[in-house]
């Protein structure tokens, strides 16, 4: 059962592939904001996935985070999430991202529980 207080944690090393200059979100070789957001989304998704019914998944619908410190290549970064609100299929997480020197980002992330097959069918119909 998915309940308030559920926690998630995910780590990665900052490589050249996830820097702002490489992905086009800036000109410097630091952990890119879009990649921090991807880490946040994956942390939240991974925390609830084992608790979903067969055929269910989650999709991100809202991200409200600040990126308050730069992280160089080679440093470890991680995200900690906590589920703070459950409203039927809507899940709201408080998130914090860190590097080896401290806090680099924080905010909230919202996901919705979906029926994966029905969701994919809607997308396929949209593509036609």
Residues identified as active-site: 33, 41, 67
Distance CA 78, CA 12 (A): 6
Per the CB < 8 A criterion, the answer to whether 59 and 119 are in contact is yes
Cα–chain center distance at 108: 10
Sequence-distant (6+) residues with CB within 8 A of 122 are none
Give the chain's radius of gyration (CA, Å). 16
SS3 state at 78: strand
CA distance readout (Å), 24 to 27, 33, 39, 70, 81: 7, 11, 17, 16, 27
């Amino acid at each position: 059962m998915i309940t308030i207080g559920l926690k998630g944690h995910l780590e990665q090393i900052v490589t050249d592939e996830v820097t702002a200059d490489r992905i086009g979100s800036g000109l410097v070789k630091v952990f890119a904001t879009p990649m921090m957001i991807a880490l946040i989304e994956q942390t939240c998704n991974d925390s609830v996935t084992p608790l979903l019914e067969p055929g269910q998944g989650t999709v991100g619908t809202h991200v409200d985070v600040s990126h308050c410190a730069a992280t160089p290549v080679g440093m470890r970064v991680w995200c900690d999430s906590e589920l703070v609100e459950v409203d039927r299929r809507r899940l709201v997480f408080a998130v914090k991202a860190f590097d080896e020197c401290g806090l680099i980002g924080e905010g909230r992330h919202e996901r919705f529980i979906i029926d994966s097959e029905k969701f994919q069918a809607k997308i396929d119909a949209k593509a036609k």
